[in-house]
Structure 1
Amino acid sequence: MRSSILTAAGALLLATPALAQEFNGPYVGGSFGYSFNGDDDEETMLFDRGFDGTDDTVTTTAGTNAFSPGFCGGRAFGSRNTGCGDDRDTIQYHVRAGWDVQFGKFVVGAVGEFGRSEVGDSVAAFSTTPASYTMTRTIDWEANLRARAGVVLGERTLAYVTGGPAYARIDNSFETTNTQNAFLDNGKSRSWGVVGGGGLEHKFTPNVSMGVEYLYSRYKDDDYRVRVVQGIANPINPFILFGAPGTEFRRSDPRFDFHAVRGTLAFRF
């Protein structure tokens, strides 16, 4: 009996290092998936007449709201508020490198990524002229450094949660049907954010694993501005009315957030 117990204990000790090596060490790989926007249908634009740092209502000579036709969370179809196109949901792709350490069934590690999400987020405003004004932001490139922790299911599948800081260069753009005023903007911006989610990773060989992952990303994007000046418009144009040098546009929601579902591939050393 004692011999059987010792034999079983020895076998367990010998088996434990093999299990502990399953998700140990460095790896490189990549991910490819689909990004989609969150709900931002209530977003609008804010206006600063005179560039004094306060939000104002842009009015006509009659004192009415020049943007009374309203706003929509998407790209304008035309000059009148007849609706907007949906925000762009599309692919994303990243390269990654990481390191895991396994303790029994538990795994902790870190992973860094660099790549691009081609998701686009727009908001449009409509004036009584009539004219439309659309602001759009996309990810030029992004990087993140995430911790991850999980548990091994069976012997080859890792279920994990992950999260950490992210950094991105955001490409901002502006378009309008207004041909009378002149428009100036400050283009691209760089923003900090956070990313978090979870996934499953399965080892098909000792060195190759594939998985599926969900991530939610949020960046603070509040630096983009568009300045409207006179151009060839007449002096009673609402943007320059009563001697104002012009009017500045900005988005009401500084959050650029989106979701992603992607497949992952890793080569372990």
Structure 2
Amino acid sequence: MRTLNGALLGAIGLMAFTAPAFAQDQEFSGPYIGGSLGHTFQRSDNDETVQFDRDLNGSFGDTVVTSATNAPNAFSPGFCGGTATSSAPGTGCGDDRDSTSYAARLGFDVQRGNFVVGVVGDIGRTEISDSVTAFSTTPASYTMTRSIDWNAGLRLRAGYAAGGRTLIYATGGGAYAKVDHDFATSNRANSFTVTSEDKDVWGWAAGGGVEQKVGTNFSIGVEYLYTRLNDDDYSVRAGALTSPATPANNPFLLGAAGTDFRRSDNRFETHGVRATAAYRF
């Protein structure tokens, strides 16, 4: 977060230093402060699965089997891109949660004729969660969920001021989020250890919008933003219980002292549509 703030302040300072005095008809020149409020949603991810590492060598893609002598797939019931509402596949999977997003923003623009370039940073919250569930033959369910605690971004933007007071722009740059991880299972025969419950993740964002001046200093607008975060290095290890002791023929213990599993897709992708408001100094 300090990196984003430092880069934003540096970019604003550089643009303020290099820009000459602003003319009165340059509606979008100078610093501004504001906020946004909107809705964030996700693409359908019903094709996502869970990957397994039976021998704990760091290589995922193994098949967890129910017996050492033959090899029926312990997860043959399959997977779903949501949260488990029961242990039965096909009837017990809920949708991911899409929700409200809100943020404060700070930026600086330079206008030359009808062309505008600038930098904008924001920090806020997106109340959204993304889950995937694996179903075993026991039957049991295993759900991995990630949700955004809070998020921030630093982007460049460039646009065209049509009619003088209507700015049409594109934007893109870096994205950051504090992501919380949760794990839930109906399996009571094994121990489960997660690598981390929350972590810093980074990615990028791109989109565009329209900003309309409604007075000397105020503007309102609408913006679309696609965000892709790289949520990797999160896994869960299934191991043995000591009391009561997990049987040695437990499917998670047949390959080694346990089995690691992780999501098949480390991309945390969101789409956001939001209203914006700003005060320009």
Q: How does 1:177-196 map to 2 (within 5 A)?
A: 177-185=186-194, 186-196=196-206
> Identity over aligned residues, as a percent?
56
SS of 1:60's equivalent in the other structure is coil
Partner Cα distance (1:207, 1:18) in 2: 12
Q: Between Structure 1 and Structure 2, whose CA radius of gyration is higher?
A: 1
Instruction: Tell me if 1:58 matches 2:77.
Output: no
1:116 aligns with one of 115, 118, 125: 125
Instruction: Tell me if 1:97 matches 2:106.
Output: yes
Partner Cα distance (2:233, 2:152) in 1: 19
Instruction: Tell me if 1:207 matches 2:212.
Output: no
Q: List runs of 5+ in structure 1 lacking aligned partners.
A: 1-15
Q: C-alpha deviations, 1:14-53, integer Å up to 9, x for none?
A: xx93322x00100111111100001211100001113111
The aligned residue for residue 19 of structure 1 is: 25
SS of 1:19's equivalent in the other structure is coil
The aligned residue for residue 249 of structure 1 is: 261
Partner Cα distance (2:49, 2:144) in 1: 10
Instruction: Tell me if 1:41 matches 2:46.
Output: yes
2:39 partner letter: Y
The aligned residue for residue 145 of structure 2 is: 136
| Aligned pairs, number | 252
1:25–1:99: 8 Å Cα contact kept in structure 2? yes
The aligned residue for residue 236 of structure 1 is: 249
1:39 partner letter: S
Cα shift at 1:155: 2.3
Partner Cα distance (1:179, 1:83) in 2: 19
Cα shift at 1:71: 0.3
Q: What RMSD over aligned residues (CA atoms) do the two structures have, in Å? A: 1.2
SS of 2:254's equivalent in the other structure is helix
1:218 partner letter: R
Cα shift at 1:167: 1.4
Partner Cα distance (1:197, 1:41) in 2: 25
- TM-score, normalised to structure 2's length? 0.87
Q: List runs of 5+ in structure 2 lacking aligned partners.
A: 1-21
Cα shift at 1:129: 0.4
Cα shift at 1:147: 0.3
Cα shift at 1:142: 1.3
SS of 1:239's equivalent in the other structure is helix
Cα shift at 1:128: 0.3
Q: C-alpha deviations, 1:167-224, integer Å up to 9, x for none?
A: 1111111101111111110211211100010001111111111110000000011111
1:189–1:224: 8 Å Cα contact kept in structure 2? no
Cα shift at 1:83: 4.1
1:189–1:223: 8 Å Cα contact kept in structure 2? no
1:226–1:248: 8 Å Cα contact kept in structure 2? yes
Instruction: Tell me if 1:145 matches 2:154.
Output: yes
